[in-house]
Structure 1
Amino acid sequence: MRDPRIWVEGECNESLYKAAAAPLPAYKPCRGHRHVEMTLCITGLPGADKSTDEDTVLMVLTARCNDQRQEIKAAYKKTYGKDLVSALKSELGGLFEDLIVSLMTPPVLYDATQLHKALKGAGTDDQVLIEILASRTGEEIKEITKVYKKEFGGKLEKDICGDTGGSYRKLLVILLQGSREEDVDEDNIEKDAKDLYAAGEGKCGTDEEKFITILGNRSEEHLRRVFDAYKKISGSDIEESIKGETTGNLEDLMLAIVKCVKSVPGYFAESLYKSMRRAGTDDKTLTRIMVSRSEVDMLDIRANFKKMYGQSLYTTIQVLLRTIFKKKAPHLPFILCDGVRFGNLL
């Protein structure tokens, strides 16, 4: 394991933030134990008798992975006797506060919190339900369910059932079990493709149950092969059938499942693009995706974004956030797009 490293001031430019296997120039070895590093980390955060340096807050917290942020949070409480997240909320504001507080939240708790807000706010935020349940793995969904109950005292499935209905609710509940099949059933690939065709394009009306059963339970690799077989049978992609046979939230959920089965990074690249191309930026979606995928597949999302839209995600976000964050943190767009926290180098 490499020696612990601490952040020291450095020029904020694109090359500084590129992931690299070699030690970055903005880091210098720090002699001593890990608690020394943590103490140095928190010197720029809100504490007793000092004002908050927002640039330092950003640099310290984004230069480390989420696990290390939790260590910083613990070190802060030991040093000042205060909760760091509460202190940040009292010092920051607006979108900058939302971003920093989100980065300070453990990933599973962050997902559980987003779902709780989606269900308990004014109306149901179906976009959040669809995004999280369609894109997370079975194990991740099971962990989210446990944390949801621990933090909010209720069952996620019960809350979802209370806010949704019909075939849409049924498919959400199936996904919520986190029990998608793992293997490819060679004998049923052709059958599933034919069943989907017969349930949609091949009949008058739509057999939603058949779509729900296949899309909600089959393994991802099995579904990819079913989609290929479906195209040979119908002459069109499965997405076209879903668009023609379903509407509303059920259509959105089925399309999200198909897109995630084909490529999770591609799904999020499209979601980011849409969030920045609506009349008025969808700040919540932008923040949620950038935070939740930052240590998962952000580099792949960047590559897909470039391939799909012919422009870099960094440049797009830089232009978008110029009027929001430039004065506080001109380097924020690249930090958000980096995809590899510097803490991984420790």
Structure 2
Amino acid sequence: MLQANKGTVKPSQHFNANADAEVLYKAMKGLGTDEDAILQLLTARSNAQRQEIKASYKTLYGKDLINDLKGELTGKFETLIVALMTPPIAYDVTLLHSAIKGAGTNEKVLVEILASRKPQQVKDIIAAYKKEYDADLEKDVTGDTSGHFQRLLVILLQANRQTGIQAETIESDAQALFKAGEEKFGTDEQAFVTILGNRSAEHLRKVFDAYMKLSGYEMEESIKRETSGPLKDLLLAVVKCARSVPAYFAETLYHAMKGAGTDDDTLIRVMVTRSEVDMLDIRSEFRKLFACSLHSMIKGDTGGDYRKALLVLCGGDDA
């Protein structure tokens, strides 16, 4: 079944890579930079088209477009534009590498990417990571994490989830989770890790319903009561993505902007990676879950060209 594209960024119909490269060159040539021209053009092209523009730019001017953009732009706007210019798998690979190789581990990035990507995407990420860094992503992840958090990440990296619904194991999976958590003094995290890491989203939704009948708790409530730290965050992300990936990202965006200070890294990451995938669905889930639209929250929480670009990626207001 062909799914309608739920992205807000679509390929430009009358696309000419050479003409676009020329517009960008003029926007950066001479004194001062026309940020608006750069913003309007790059947010109105698909990622595949941006790659063609990059190739044309090098052919026409003998210069690297990303280097030129980095030289002309600054701050969060620069980070956002460079992210938009990076192919999706390469962007995920860069994010994961930084999350592991920097000082300390950025668990949030590991959780978000590995809980939300489809098995084939995970396989592509592993291959691209190997090619880019001549390193094994699983080895790098295990070298930087521990315990059940590490085990669940390793399971997700196998990208071997069952497909479809195994009707005969719905009840036994729900029982196993109940026995491992609510019914037990202390928690058997391994049961949570194995079941949530290996079953399909459709199957898990049925298990959550059966679990609710059995325990009187939603799966998320039990995870919050029974686990803590990065493992809790990862289990919750897996459960939320099994229920609805767009709702998971709507919540992620909300928490990135709520309260004092904005988590711009998360805001940029989600807006860029979902703009061609399911941003329309994320917007509608956001409106259902929270008292405002995604558009109005971005507007109130950011400024300048950075805000303008994010609003274009958002694609409209659901006030």
**TM-score under structure 1 length normalisation:** 0.85
Q: In structure 1, list runs of 5 or more residues that go unmatched.
A: 1-17, 22-26, 340-346
**Partner residue, 2:213:** 232
Shift of 1:288: 0.5
Shift of 1:43: 4.4
Asked whether the equivalents of residues 189 and 225 of structure 1 are also in contact (C-alpha less than 8 Å), the reply is: yes
Which residue of 178, 182, 194 maps to 2:163?
Answer: 182
**Partner residue, 1:42:** 24
Asked whether the equivalents of residues 266 and 301 of structure 1 are also in contact (C-alpha less than 8 Å), the reply is: yes
**Partner residue, 1:11:** none
**Partner residue, 2:256:** 275
Shift of 1:236: 1.0
**Partner residue, 2:148:** 167
**TM-score under structure 2 length normalisation:** 0.92
Q: Give the distance between the partners of 2:58 and 2:278, measured in 1 at CA.
A: 31
- Tell me: CA distance 1:244–1:35, structure 2 relative to 1, closer, same or farther (3 Å): closer
Aligned residue identity for 1:257: V
Output one character per residue of 1:70-119: Cα deviation in whole Å (capped at 9) or x when no partner. 01101111111000001111111111110100000000000010000000
**Partner residue, 1:135:** 116
Asked whether the equivalents of residues 77 and 84 of structure 1 are also in contact (C-alpha less than 8 Å), the reply is: yes
Shift of 1:44: 3.9
Asked whether the equivalents of residues 76 and 82 of structure 1 are also in contact (C-alpha less than 8 Å), the reply is: yes
Shift of 1:207: 1.1
Q: Give the distance between the partners of 2:191 and 2:126, measured in 1 at CA.
A: 26
Determine if the alignment matches structure 1 residue 241 to structure 2 residue 222.
Answer: yes
Shift of 1:183: 2.1
**Partner residue, 2:309:** 332
Which residue of 199, 204, 211 maps to 1:218?
Answer: 199
Output one character per residue of 1:115-152: Cα deviation in whole Å (capped at 9) or x when no partner. 00000111000000000000000000110111111111
Asked whether the equivalents of residues 38 and 71 of structure 1 are also in contact (C-alpha less than 8 Å), the reply is: no
Shift of 1:36: 4.9
Aligned residue identity for 1:332: A
- Tell me: CA distance 1:212–1:329, structure 2 relative to 1, closer, same or farther (3 Å): closer
- Tell me: CA distance 1:191–1:37, structure 2 relative to 1, closer, same or farther (3 Å): same
- Tell me: CA distance 1:179–1:41, structure 2 relative to 1, closer, same or farther (3 Å): farther
Give the secondary structure class of the aligned counterpart of 1:331: helix
**Partner residue, 1:193:** 174
- Tell me: CA distance 1:39–1:159, structure 2 relative to 1, closer, same or farther (3 Å): closer
Aligned residue identity for 1:63: A
- Tell me: CA distance 1:329–1:165, structure 2 relative to 1, closer, same or farther (3 Å): closer
Asked whether the equivalents of residues 58 and 65 of structure 2 are also in contact (C-alpha less than 8 Å), the reply is: yes
Based on CA coordinates, which of the two structures has the bigger radius of gyration? 1
Aligned residue identity for 2:218: D
**Partner residue, 2:33:** 52
Give the secondary structure class of the aligned counterpart of 2:48: helix
Shift of 1:280: 1.1
Aligned residue identity for 2:119: G
Q: In structure 2, list runs of 5 or more residues that go unmatched.
A: 1-6
Which residue of 67, 71, 85 maps to 1:90?
Answer: 71
Which residue of 69, 88, 94 maps to 1:107?
Answer: 88
Shift of 1:39: 4.6
**Partner residue, 2:135:** 154
Give the secondary structure class of the aligned counterpart of 2:162: coil
**Partner residue, 1:261:** 242
Shift of 1:204: 1.2
Q: Give the distance between the partners of 2:36 and 2:213, measured in 1 at CA.
A: 55
Which residue of 38, 52, 57 maps to 1:76?
Answer: 57
- Tell me: CA distance 1:161–1:315, structure 2 relative to 1, closer, same or farther (3 Å): same
- Tell me: CA distance 1:215–1:298, structure 2 relative to 1, closer, same or farther (3 Å): same
- Tell me: CA distance 1:136–1:329, structure 2 relative to 1, closer, same or farther (3 Å): closer
Q: Give the distance between the partners of 2:241 and 2:159, measured in 1 at CA.
A: 15
Give the secondary structure class of the aligned counterpart of 1:82: coil
Aligned-pair identity (%)? 54
Asked whether the equivalents of residues 271 and 310 of structure 2 are also in contact (C-alpha less than 8 Å), the reply is: no
Q: Give the distance between the partners of 2:9 and 2:140, measured in 1 at CA.
A: 44
Aligned residues: 309
Q: Give the distance between the partners of 2:191 and 2:297, measured in 1 at CA.
A: 40
Q: Give the distance between the partners of 1:215 and 1:330, measured in 2 at CA.
A: 37
Give the secondary structure class of the aligned counterpart of 2:178: helix
Q: Give the distance between the partners of 1:282 and 1:43, measured in 2 at CA.
A: 32
Which residue of 44, 67, 74 maps to 1:63?
Answer: 44
Q: Give the distance between the partners of 1:330 and 1:165, measured in 2 at CA.
A: 38
Asked whether the equivalents of residues 257 and 301 of structure 2 are also in contact (C-alpha less than 8 Å), the reply is: yes
Q: Give the distance between the partners of 1:143 and 1:278, measured in 2 at CA.
A: 36
